[in-house]
Amino acid sequence: MATHCPNPYQDSPLWACDPILNFKLKPSLVVDGQPLNSTGFRTHEFTKKSPSVYRILALGDSCTFGMLITDKFEYIHEPYPMKLEMLIAERIGSGKVEVLNAGTPGYNSYQGVMLLRSKLRGLHPDLITVRFGWNDHLMSRAGRDTFRETESKVGRGVEDILMRTALYPFVLRLGLEVQALRAPTNAKPTLGDIPKVWKPNVPLDQYKENLRRIVALGRAQGSEVWLLTAPHAFDIAANVGKYDEFPNTMAAKTLMLFSAIPDYERFVEIHDSYNNAVRDVGADLGVPVVDMDAIYRMHKSEHLYTATDIPHPTQEGHNLEAETLYAKLLAEGLIKLPSRESDEARRSR
């Protein structure tokens, strides 16, 4: 039986091959001193949902997972899903709300769809938060054709059934092995690999469709869905107008180079168009949009980003996102502060 997926991630310290999702986190990865759960996520073990617990599932990329990029991968100690659960436990009481962090570095909206159809199926969250965008409008060596669902509803239905079996991933893995035999052995990118034309992993129209699919999949299992926009560090006061001063080795400049994005202005224009797509889909479907992009602009004098990492917020940024989601949950009546009487009774015990 095929047990090895020879793709560009096979030698990565962070990723391993996944025949359905293209790649996943290495099962042996240790993050901030803690192993991943048995399903491969930086969160609690997945258990049967208790009727007394309000379950939140946070879908997203490395900005949800909790990562910083300097000259190496670093991890946020309390990413916003974890921080949100902590805030609720401190202010309302422990054990009432569970927040599962399904953020995965490198993932885009297509992979969010496929997660809901595969590894995250059956969790029955009350609320799904969705924060993608970066890996949709950037480019990767996997190529844009990798990140497309079967368009036929009948085909997707058959695929849903097949994904419940061990045979389907096995067949896909064999396909990857055949592709690898035909591919060059040197997998490391060189200057000759730099693309000349921007071709995003997920084009804008497909990004909107993926968000619609996530909403539909969530609603089909009785979940409410909130869409989050993705802020960026170019709007932070310390970084405005200073792009040319940033070192050429910084992560954002490397991302732009290998995505064929010519300059900072175009980079921001592209990113803003994907945030606007989130707002448009939310308005079209009647789905709440938590506009983190706008909220970060209101706090742009704060230390929400480092000087060299444009996509990934600092711990302060994650704290802001957790507080924003907490306030939204309160405003929507999905969580309730304990009454003064119950507080006094608790203290008198």
Interval 310-335: pLDDT, tens: 899 999 999 999 999 999 999 999 99
Instruction: Give the pLDDT score at 173.
Output: 40
Is pLDDT at 54 greater than 90 in this prediction?
A: yes
Mean pLDDT, rounded, of the chain? 82
Mean pLDDT of 184-212: 77
Is residue 347 over pLDDT 90? no
* Sheet containing strand 224-228, strands side by side: 97-103, 54-60, 127-131, 224-228, 289-290
What is the distance between the alpha carbons of residues 202 and 147, in angstroms, rounded to a whole number? 7
Has this prediction a pTM greater than 0.75? yes
150 or 260, greater pLDDT:
260
- Mean pLDDT for 47-73 is 93
Lookup: tokens for 337: 């502060």
Percent of the chain with pLDDT over 70: 73
As a whole number, mean pLDDT of residues 213-223 equals 98
Mean pLDDT of 210-214: 98
Query: What's the confidence (pLDDT) of residue 6?
Result: 53
Average pLDDT over residues 255-259: 75
Q: Where are the beta strands (DSSP E) in the chain?
A: 15-18, 22-25, 30-31, 34-35, 54-60, 67-69, 73-75, 97-103, 127-131, 224-228, 289-290
CA–CA gap between residue 42 and residue 73 (Å, rounded)? 15
Q: Residue 61: pLDDT above 90?
A: yes
pLDDT the model gives residue 243: 57
d(C-alpha 117, C-alpha 14), whole Å: 23
Could you give the 3-state DSSP secondary structure of residue 111? helix
pLDDT at 250: 59
Question: What is the C-alpha separation between 259 and 207, in angstroms, rounded?
Answer: 17
| Tokens describing residue 331 | 């405003």
3-state class (DSSP) for residue 98: strand
Name the pLDDT band for 12 (thresholds 50, 70, 90).
confident
Residue 54: count of CB within 10 angstroms of its CB? 17
pLDDT of residue 184: 45
What's the rounded mean pLDDT across residues 281-286?
99
Percent above pLDDT 90 for the chain: 56
Contact 101, 65 (CB under 8 A): yes
Per-residue model confidence as pLDDT tens digits over 300-313: 888 998 877 889 99
Among 21-35, 93-107, 189-203, the minimum mean pLDDT is found in 189-203
pLDDT of residue 14: 87
Q: How far apart are CA 194 and CA 255, in angstroms?
A: 11
- Predicted pLDDT at 182: 39
Instruction: Give residue-wise pLDDT tens across range 83-107.
Output: 999 999 999 999 999 999 999 999 9
pLDDT > 70? residue 151 = no
pLDDT at 155 exceeding the cut of 50:
no
Which among 110, 25, 70 has a CA at the least distance from the CA of 252?
A: 70
**Radius of gyration for the chain, computed over Cα atoms and rounded to the nearest angstrom:** 21
Quote the pLDDT of residue 196.
82
45 — phi, psi (to 5°)?
-65, 140
CATH of domain 26-148+193-335: 3.40.50.1110
Kindly report the number of other CB atoms within 10 A of residue 177's CB atom. Answer: 16
Question: What is the greatest pairwise CA distance in the chain?
Answer: 72
The predicted pLDDT at position 163 comes to 43
pLDDT recorded at residue 1: 35
pLDDT band of 122, cuts 50, 70, 90: very high
pLDDT mean over 57-79? 92
Question: Residue 248, Cβ neighbours under 10 Å: how many?
Answer: 7
State how far Cα 349 lies from the chain centre.
43
**DSSP assignment string, 191-258:** GGG--SS---SS-HHHHHHHHHHHHHHHHHTT-EEEEE----GGGSTTTTT-GGGS-TTSHHHHHHHT
